[in-house]
Structure 1
């Protein structure tokens, strides 16, 4: 690819959104795609260069890891997916600050990820998943080396992930994550750590910058006969751009693998996380414009919002090859987390989660035709003791509740890929999911609540390889997402047990490279039923329950386009169009669903010298206002952020970078809370505190040594 690494993005999906889609930002993006592909064609025609075939790494038996694919092997597997999916090489974000999920996933098409207050707490959404959830996570399955990180009910914390400790990241959007048993609208993200086979013998990295930011990471890996190992330790802290936004994290990731025979390998994982975070909360639009550094007064001075937890997680993954064309995989994990979480109440939540996984892969031909069959079974269990107390200036007062929460679930899935022609594959699959949630308040003696959710979700798709470099795909799929305990919790005297969210999604797209361009694009349209949305009291602003919207539509475009504009000059781009709306709702009609910008664009132009030096500007642009409430009465202003980075990246020895962000010191909302109606009264309407300010002008520098 002419000296450049593949920019590891995906591409997602538009659909016909009518005239509303024909906006200037979309026109600019589409023009960029057409121009890039046209110039690519012209350059290829003029140079008459032979097509470069895809490089496929072949690992002989007894070499490399059986339990963890290499980056090249994982990229090759991605071409077997008939929909939006991509891989992010950790080297693509190691050339700048690597602190948050936004740093790691920011250029992945279709992934909307924004830090809530410059730290690791983020809003993460794919195709409008968890659109109501501005805290923690819902609607996306997070995996560490193929094992689930989410709690058994589907919720998750971002602080358990260390982007710098990953070798690569796999992003599967929507039903394209079936191979990991994901049933949700958003799909799955898998963070893959190095093994002793591909890790540096020693790596040390330090970062420092504005707002008291500093990060230190040490790692090492190696192979000794049949045994290999990898371990990393990192510490991160910040004072924060805003008041009451200090954070400190310690994390350790490690794994050790043992090759029992040339065809059998087992690998054990140990993870430890300790995190302490102050939560500055939301501001009104006027407060943001006046002083974005301030914290929400209630958060910082009265309730003293925080989220602190310790987590320890152990896991195993074992792979057995059954000849040349069959493979059996087994996985297991256990996680214990203890949370201290002062918010409107003080929550103390010890939890235990554990699960198993069994997957079988068969690539034997069927009657001489190329074929690939995958089947799996994933049961999991979780238990949370949700202790809630009166919040007295951030300390626990009298007990209010003692919820004993239990969840059990299992998923059975299968998928078959049959090649009708050497270049055309038919993919069909399905999964069955069953989840049971139980809750009883041991303090009040209220009767136990129990809710069971189950659904069969099929999918079908096609993959067409025009040539070894260019691929087209299409699929139709279904998704299913039960509510988590957070969705079932309610301030109502008689809580309503919400129904599971489900959707039917159509998708078409392409991935490939030609001439100077590499692209990943997908268009999608999801018809959603029972979307999980929250109700908020329009005067007090307190939540009053979770409801299911009748019908909503999620449709959009997800585009990644990377180009070599000239020798050593590279342009990386990501554009996402998100058109999410109600469909004839009795209260909101055809209003836009709140919380996600309709147009979102990021680009980086870098000069890269063969000696490892690089320099160039970058931009993040939200060109159109979007709403914070489903009634469409209060909106987020547009913004454009300018940054610049320079440095030198070496495979061994010293590397360094210097980076500036938001150089024009824009005051803007990085993301927002979502409500149904912005409301009335002293705390409603324009006075609604729903905006999370983004960081102001900042500078960072880093130094790394690898051997």
Structure 2
């Protein structure tokens, strides 16, 4: 029998410090998560885990103009392990008794805006945002694989900091450009753990390793996305659309030891279609091509694989189509 109980209380209040200029947001949340598993055949294996925490946050927002604001926030967060993350490596237990909740201190500062200029056909609207974030994590939950089975453990302390940039603009009538970029500098400040791997002779080896100072695996340092889309109203009830997108991802490490790294990749995708309205019905027909250049790339990594099977290939060039029929009551 399995019983999972998640109880939470949340409070929030927003204050206007300077009229229509400066605002402060105060929040607080209490979480209590209980996992209770009962083994009907062997009662001694029955297990129970409880995770609880109170996490406050304060945020400031200052309007430089009616359309541009700077903001900052500081707070803590609490992430209890998910049910699958609590699976025990020790077969005598149902739940991992060593895995703790992940806790973090989060800081961010940034600027955002929503600019409009309806008097011009060019750049009528532009939304933008730039943010610096700094997250100091205690007991970060990280995966490790043992012969095909994935288990989870805590890293002692991790520093995640970076920059997020984004903009969405209407370049010209029906022509839109979306750009987003993330720079990630994620490192283990202190992290020692036991690892299981296969040596060159095929024997299973267990050893203690210190990963302090290493880069967190499975996170690219650079991640950029661009999308150019065009929508045209052909008749009052007939619209055509076209979208071309690009994603560039830098290489990423495959394990805590930083023993190997994937190559970066660049993907081009496209989609085109028509949207037809008739009465209360709406019909959308679309089709497209993913990975236009048919690039060979790593689509998924098995982080911390004991037998070094880290890589799963991404999809080659592929084609798709869809037909959607909707009705508005």
Q: Is the 8 A contact 2:71 2:109 kept in 1?
A: yes
Q: Is the 8 A contact 2:144 2:303 kept in 1?
A: no
Partner of 1:640: 266
Please name the residue that 2:246 is paired with.
619
- 1:673 is displaced (CA, Å) by 2.0
RMSD: 2.3
Residue 532 of structure 1 aligns with which residue? 141
Distance 1:554 1:443 in 2: 44
| Counterpart pick for 1:602 among 193, 201, 225 | 225
> Residue in 1 aligned with 2:165?
559
2:297 maps to 668
Deviation at 1:486, TM superposition (A): 1.9
**Does the 8 A contact of 1:523 with 1:556 survive in 2?**
yes
Equivalence map 1:4-15=2 (5 Å): none
1:47-62 alignment to 2 at 5 Å? none
Instruction: Tell me how far 1:654 sits from its aligned partner.
Output: 4.0
Deviation at 1:494, TM superposition (A): 5.4
Secondary structure of the corresponding residue to residue 190 of structure 2: coil
Gaps of 5+ in 1: 1-403
State the match for 2:186 in structure 1. Answer: 580
More helix, by proportion: 1
Deviation string 1:528-572 (CA, Å, 9 cap, x unpaired) is: 0011123444xx4545x5322111112222332122334443211
Relative distance call for 1:607 and 1:490 in structure 2 (3 A) is same
Residue 628 in structure 1 maps to residue 254 in structure 2: yes
TM-score, scaled relative to structure 1: 0.39
Aligned with residue 44 of structure 2, among 426, 433, 446: 446
Task: State the alpha-carbon separation in 2 of the partners of residues 645 and 609 from structure 1.
Answer: 14
1:466 aligned counterpart, secondary structure: strand
Match of 2:16 in 1: 419
**Residue ranges of structure 2 left out of the alignment (5+ in a row):** 117-122, 193-209
List aligned pairs for 1:139-158, cutoff 5 A: none
Q: For the residues of structure 1 that align with 2:173 and 2:100, how far apart are their CA atoms? A: 55
SS at match of 1:487: helix
Aligned partners of 1:651 and 1:706 also within 8 Å: no
Tell me what 2:78 maps to: 480
User: How big is the shift at 1:656?
Assistant: 2.7
Greater relative contact order structure (CA < 8 Å, 6+ sep): 1
Which of 110, 119, 124 is the aligned partner of 1:509?
A: 110
The structure with the greater share of residues assigned to strand is: 2
**SS at structure 1 position matched to 2:165:** strand
TM-score of the superposed pair, with normalisation by structure 2: 0.80
